[in-house]
Amino acid sequence: MNHNRIYEVLNWASSFLKEHGKEERVAELLLRHHLQVTRAQLFARLRDEIDDRVKQAFIDDLKRHVYEHVPVQYVIGFEEFYGRSFLVNQEVLIPRPETEELVEGVLTRIQRLFPERETIDLVDVGTGSGAIAITLALENPALRVSTIDISLESLQVAKENARRFSAEVEFICGDLLQPFIQAGRKVDVVVSNPPYIPESDIAFLSPVVKNHEPLRALVGGKDGLHFYRRFMEELPVVLKARALVAFEVGAGQGEAVAQLLRETFHTAIVEVVFDMNGKDRMVYAEIKQ
C-alpha cells in the first residue's frame, strides 16, 4: 500500500474493514491510537504524511482484528464507558454501551429511593473491568462502593482503573455475595451484570467475542439464568429493609428474572426496562421488607 497521507490510509483501512464485514469505525479508533491523537487532532492532520513505522504497526493491528478477530478494544487496551476510558484486557469483558443505561438507571433510582442519605452502601457483583462500580462511585459521592469478583486477574484490572480515576472502591475476591454473607454485612444496593448467555448459544457468538473474551464472564448455565437463581438465595441475607436490586439481563430474559425477584420479595416493585435497541436489558427491584 503506497498511500502516505493520513486520509489515504484511513480510507484504505475503512474499505478493507468493510470488505471483511467489520465495522469501519475501527479504522479511526486504531489510527488515533497509533498516532496518539484525539479525534479533532486526527481530522486536523488528515493531509499530513504518516510515518512508515506507525503505518506498518497500524496495518499489523488492523490485520489482527480482521483475520484473528481480536477485539479492537483489546488491541488498543481500553474502551470508552460513561465518558471515561477504561483499561481492558483479555481477563475482562469489554464494557458495552447498554451497561451505561444500567448505571444511569441505578443513579436515578438511588436519588429517588434514598434522598438526603449521607452514605449509601452499594455492592457491584462480578465487576470485571470495574466500569460499573467505578462510574457509580465517581458519579455519586454519597455511595460507599464495594465490588466482588471471583477472578483475581479481573480485580487487578479493576483496581488499576480505580487508581487511574482516583475512585474510592473496595475490592473483594469471592463468589457472588458470599464474602458479605460470611462477614454479616448488609447493603442498600446490589448491582450486577452477571454471565447470562445460555451454554448452547456460545457456539453462535461472533468469533470476536467467543475466541477472545473470557467465557467465565459470559456463560450463565444451561438457560443463562444460573446466577440470577443463586442471587435469589443470597440477596435476602444481605439486603437492608429498604433496598434496590439492579440487574443487566440477556435479551428475552427480562420477565423470567423479574418473576424470580417477585417470588423472592413478595412486596417488591419490579420493572423490566428496555435498552436503546428495544431489547429487555435491565431489571430493577425496589424492596421494602
Residues annotated within the binding site for substrate are 193-196
**Please, which residues bridge with residue 219 across strands?**
197
d(C-alpha 162, C-alpha 169), whole Å: 7
Which pLDDT belongs to residue 197? 65
The answer to whether 228 and 175 are in contact (CB under 8 A) is no
DSSP 8-state assignment for residue 95: P
Average confidence (pLDDT) over 130-146: 97
The answer to whether 172 and 233 are in contact (CB under 8 A) is no
The answer to whether 79 and 259 are in contact (CB under 8 A) is no
Residue among 157, 150, 245, 247 at smallest CA distance from 193? 247
Average confidence (pLDDT) over 9-16: 93
Q: What is the pLDDT of residues 153-189, one digit of tens each?
A: 989 999 999 999 999 999 999 999 999 999 999 999 9
Q: So where are the chain's domains?
A: 6-68, 89-288
Mention the CATH class of domain 89-288: alpha beta
Residues annotated within the binding site are 126-130, 149, 193-196
Confidence of residue 4 (pLDDT cuts 50, 70, 90): confident
The answer to whether 48 and 5 are in contact (CB under 8 A) is yes
Residue owning grid cell 466482588: 148
Q: What percent of the chain has pLDDT over 90?
A: 63
In degrees rounded to 5, what are phi and psi of residue 185?
-90, 145
Residues annotated within the binding site for S-adenosyl-L-methionine are 126-130, 149, 193
The answer to whether 203 and 256 are in contact (CB under 8 A) is no
d(C-alpha 206, C-alpha 275), whole Å: 21
In degrees rounded to 5, what are phi and psi of residue 48?
-70, 155
Q: Which three cell numbers stand for residue 278?
A: 428495544
Which H/E stretch holds residue 172? strand 169-173
Average confidence (pLDDT) over 42-58: 92
Q: What is the pLDDT of residues 60-83, one digit of tens each?
A: 999 988 888 888 888 888 888 999
Which carries the bigger pLDDT value, residue 220 or residue 34?
34
Instruction: Please check the confidence at residue 132 and state whether its pLDDT lies above 70.
Output: yes
d(C-alpha 180, C-alpha 144), whole Å: 14
d(C-alpha 17, C-alpha 11), whole Å: 10
Confidence of residue 200 (pLDDT cuts 50, 70, 90): low
* Predicted structure pTM score: 0.84
Which pLDDT belongs to residue 50? 94
d(C-alpha 145, C-alpha 168), whole Å: 7
Instruction: Please check the confidence at residue 55 and state whether its pLDDT lies above 70.
Output: yes
Which pLDDT belongs to residue 222? 65
As a whole number, the mean pLDDT across the chain is: 88
